[in-house]
Structure 1
């Protein structure tokens, strides 16, 4: 068995920044939650208290993301040969699932509020939702860059973004109630946010599930890779192929390769090096594990169910 690492560890210093940004977001959201609970109790506003609940769910999802981000940096050991490299994918899955729950709760809430609109009587609601918008808005900006390349950060980012939108809905609703006595706007906006949440959350849930289930990444055409390896002159056939994504940075390929002749190990190493370069340059596969065979009697299908 040969195992190769085409590692690119260019993002370690960046990971610390991710953790720091998450930590700042957690603190901001705790402050917003406490402010909204106090404000909700003083003003008797249910919408503020429900907003505080959303913010609290943000705090929990951010803590999950933060812990996963810290765990992912831990070293591998005999008991954990991959370390905690999947912690962030797991966190993304959990957060995406809670996004769906939050969306359902928002839809229920919007329907109830539409049937009996609550009058928001105080300016406190308007001011506190403004504070929440600023706090969440700042958190969203902090996490935006990392959210593009990392499922865990994206799950935290979507929680914050939808929360910011919910606060905007409360603010608009509060202003329209105060000046125009329009009481239905709030519930319509809440419903729209819930639909957006389902749309974003579903995508994240699907992608994190694919990784956890060891499905082949969408960008990897297994048959084409097999054909390319088979075109090497000494290769007879490539079979028993597995391609999976360990986390966002690592894609693994393992396969059995049958050779035309009983080649030496040094010759195999040369061929292996060419295979590694081919799959890394073309398909970003950075872990290759090849089992060389000659005249071995085993199943020769490309995909073999173990």
Structure 2
């Protein structure tokens, strides 16, 4: 996250969302609009999300320690997963209430709904602009940014609904908009949940593993590669470990080969950290990926 996105900007966005939440809660109660109340709950979630996101970023920026040798970057992944998961749960709850409203319509005051929606849209739009820069390369900020963007889009829907209710008195528009916005939020949030869950479960990043093995085996003195592992610390940092079969040469001749492998993986495959175990004949018949019983035959 860029330095410009810390401190002042996060405080401003948090204050904006607290104000919007109170404004929309009052407007939703006065107008009877479910879509305004749903927007208010989303904004409350936004405020909590921003605080959590900022705290996770500060924790993630800490240096590695004896107890956390890879550092604390996973704090931001946890925050992204929590933010997106909460957003999906809230959306589903509000969608259920919207279905109830469709079956049992309630009167809505379109004029109050319209005024509150316009003010909320402008405030949400300002919040998304403030966080837009950091959302492209950070899952934590992207999850928070999606919170804000979803509320801006929800406000647009509420504005349209308020106009229709004011002009034509069609009460079904309000819960329908709530359902559509909830579906959109789930659609945008599920990929983040999937990606963060994959990182936390040590799922392999999208790498050409056969290509990696082929390129490494093409280097001088390298005979084979096995027991290759790859995982992500966060969405930007890939770690790889492997066993490499080499000719029986002194350590002084192995180190330049290590550097070639590290440079290859960094430049061609965007790998940030490599751990290599050199072997002569041990494991030369084993598979590229570790099999649970391989060590018994080494």
TM-score (structure 2 length as normaliser): 0.90
Partner of 1:30: 18
Preserved CA contact (<8 Å) 2:34 2:178: no
Q: Does the residue aligned with 1:209 lie in a helix, a strand or coil?
A: helix
Q: 1:298: how far off?
A: 7.7
Preserved CA contact (<8 Å) 1:244 1:253: yes
Q: 1:88: how far off?
A: 1.0
Preserved CA contact (<8 Å) 1:172 1:186: no
Preserved CA contact (<8 Å) 2:20 2:40: yes
Preserved CA contact (<8 Å) 1:74 1:83: yes
Q: 1:206: how far off?
A: 0.9
Written as runs of structure 1 = structure 2, the 5 A alignment for 1:53-202 is: 53-121=41-109, 123-202=111-190
Range with bigger deviation, 209-218 or 167-176: 167-176
Q: 1:291 aligns with which of 245, 262, 277?
A: 277
Within 1, Cα distance between the matches of 2:97 and 2:154? 12
Q: Does the residue aligned with 2:276 lie in a helix, a strand or coil?
A: strand
Structure 1: segments with no counterpart, 5+ residues = 1-10
Within 2, Cα distance between the matches of 1:119 and 1:106? 18
Distance 1:297 1:284, change over 3 A: closer
Q: 1:110: how far off?
A: 2.3
Within 1, Cα distance between the matches of 2:103 and 2:7? 43
Partner of 2:212: 225
Q: Does the residue aligned with 1:144 lie in a helix, a strand or coil?
A: helix
- Residue correspondences, number: 292
Partner of 2:233: 246
Within 1, Cα distance between the matches of 2:285 and 2:18? 57
Q: Does the residue aligned with 1:246 lie in a helix, a strand or coil?
A: strand
Q: Does the residue aligned with 2:62 lie in a helix, a strand or coil?
A: coil
Q: 1:257 aligns with which of 244, 247, 271?
A: 244
* CA root-mean-square deviation: 2.0
Partner of 1:5: none
Q: Does the residue aligned with 2:234 lie in a helix, a strand or coil?
A: coil
Q: Does the residue aligned with 2:150 lie in a helix, a strand or coil?
A: helix
Range with bigger deviation, 232-241 or 292-301: 292-301
Structure 1 residues 128-184: Cα deviation after superposition (integer angstroms, max 9, x where no partner): 211111111111112222212111111111111111222222222222111221222
Partner of 1:6: none
TM-score (structure 1 length as normaliser): 0.88
Within 1, Cα distance between the matches of 2:218 and 2:110? 74
